Amino acid sequence: MEHLKLAITHPQEFRALISYKVWRDPVHDFKKNPKESGWDRERMRDCWGFLDATSRSFAAVIKELKGELSRVICIFYLVLRALDTVEDDMTLKPEVKIPLLLDFYKKLEQPGWNFAESGPNEKDRQLLVEFDKVIAEYQLLNEGCRNVISDICARMGAGMASYIEMGNSPNGLTMETYKDYDLYCHFVAGLVGEGLSGLFVQTDIERPLIGLQLKLSNHMGLFLQKTNIIRDYAEDCEEGRSFWPKECWGTGDIFSHQSEIQRGVVETSPGSGSYQFANTVEGKKAREILSTMLLDAMSHCIKSLDYLALLRDQSVFNFCATPQVMAIATLEKLFDNADVFKKNVKIRKGVAVQLILYATNPREVAKIFLHYAREIHKKLPADDPNYLRWCILLGRIEMWCENLFPSYIMASANKKKGDVRSAMYQDWVLARDRALRLKEHGYKSKEDLDAKAEFERAHHANNMFYVYVFLMIMFTVSVILFVGYLSWMIVWYTIEGRVDPLTLLLLKFFDLLKVHDYKFTLSPFYWMSTFSELFRQAGRQVMDDMEKFHFN
């Protein structure tokens, strides 16, 4: 039913969904390279199973990475997932959790180490129970990859431990300033970006230049993490988490806690499940806070685009670009949307699939960012306190796209001559194409090529004339047969008032088909003679029925 609704309301998205499910092939299939992906080892197959169990979305893109990089990123993800599981486990006391987080990177050098003290309801508990398998596979990585993973694990563990200590304060974990907010996002996501860049280089998939882009890698992680934090506002409030900086929502003394921002939204109508900003002081403030948080997240767009433009490997580009385009699409969905404060807002599955199919090179990613930037600008209300800052930021995104991928080149590709530069570029392309065609086919001059083309066009037009005539004849015959049969039916039922012979013949034939005793054979003569005999029997039964009706 969901797919039927999508096909009716958003046919292009439904088409993209079918294309993705049926025709899209992965860039790399990790099972076809068992030696590099570790699929030939039972222990590594268990690690791939842990990856599927902990994150289906990340598992799909990780499995398409090139060569051994898929295995390396799988182990990197599982190590950080295990670390995050320890940090999220509320059944562990701080005096147990903090030392474990600080020393977790050391456990990677202890073969056979497991941790079975997690709460019974912790969803990724089994990963820690069998963590010795991850450690064993980690030990098989080259020294450069091990150093990167260990370093990121140590820094992230230290950051998590520091925030647990802050959370044990009387006020709980609260981000006071934007700097605190950025630092938290750096620990949980920015470090992941730095680690991924290092692993791209250590596996020789990308150039050493990528490993030096620590700032850009951090921006990539912050862009994703801030998008998720804004989207998950309602869920975090229900579970008592507070990540939005007080510097954003605490001004004006309207709200005393992050969860109170919900007072600024009301239901559009009772039971509708849709919300709008209330026409009150709280409503205006809630709208301003959401705009400010989204603006802060969008500030990382340019740096993310800079990073993507540096990548050279296709599988790495897809791996990095897919979450980024999902994030910009999500931010556009969240913009000026009061539902954020009451429920989890997500983009449609069809939109997500379209983004996956299109985000395959820097130009297409730039077009996606530009599209959603313009959509946000359409929604931007003139009375937004951040109106000027929004216009500047969206203008910078437009300038970035124009500088790297000029619109007049895109216009030429689409055969639009609205711009002088576009016309010049297109004329040059056509002249170049014409010269190549002359050389390829051995023509001495443009006149020879034009004569050949004219002959082909005339031949094609002549063939199309015969096709057209044939179709018209078939259409005319079909109309005559349809009108004749319809007239027959009308006349028969008007005069006779009973089932007509043609319909009766078909009914008798299908009745005989049901009771006939068939034998299994591939001989066409058997089936032709069988069906002919059944038709003759059905015809006799119809004639007998007609005689009884008219003469008895």
What are the residue numbers of the active site?
184, 231, 241, 319
CA distance readout (Å), 147 to 84, 106, 160, 455: 19, 12, 20, 68
Tokens found for residue 229:
């934090």
Residues near 206 by Cβ (< 8 Å), separated by ≥ 6?
197, 200, 311, 312, 313, 316
Residue labelled with tokens 């990548």:
311
Instruction: Decide: 220 and 321 in contact? Cβ < 8 Å.
Output: no
Spatial CA neighbour of 306 closest among 422, 228, 205, 193: 193
- Coil, strand or helix: which one is 257? coil
- Coil, strand or helix: which one is 267? strand
Tokens found for residue 544:
């007998």
The two counts, helices (H) then strands (E), for the chain are 28, 2
Residue labelled with tokens 């959790």:
97
510-549 in b/e form (b: 16+ CB < 10 A) is eebeeeeeeeeeeeeeeeeeeeeebeeebeebbeeeeeee
303-307 contacts, C-beta under 8 A, 24 or more apart = 303/215, 303/216, 303/219, 303/220, 303/223, 304/216, 304/219, 304/220, 304/223, 305/362, 305/365, 305/366, 305/369, 305/397, 305/400, 306/216, 307/213, 307/216, 307/217, 307/219, 307/220
Instruction: Decide: 277 and 284 in contact? Cβ < 8 Å.
Output: yes
Residues near 509 by Cβ (< 8 Å), separated by ≥ 6?
534, 535, 538
- The DSSP line for 482-498 is HHHHHHHHHHHHHHT-S
- Coil, strand or helix: which one is 383? coil
Q: Is the dihedral of CA 520, 525, 527, 533 positive or negative?
A: negative
- Which residue type, as a one-letter code, is found at position 549? F
CA distance readout (Å), 48 to 55, 67, 71, 75, 178: 11, 15, 9, 9, 37
Residue labelled with tokens 């060569």:
67
Residues near 87 by Cβ (< 8 Å), separated by ≥ 6?
97, 101, 160, 164
Residues near 405 by Cβ (< 8 Å), separated by ≥ 6?
362, 363, 366, 367
- Coil, strand or helix: which one is 266? strand
φ/ψ of residue 27, rounded to 5: -60, -45
Residue labelled with tokens 């994150």:
55
Tokens found for residue 5:
């609704």
Residues near 287 by Cβ (< 8 Å), separated by ≥ 6?
264, 277, 336, 338, 384
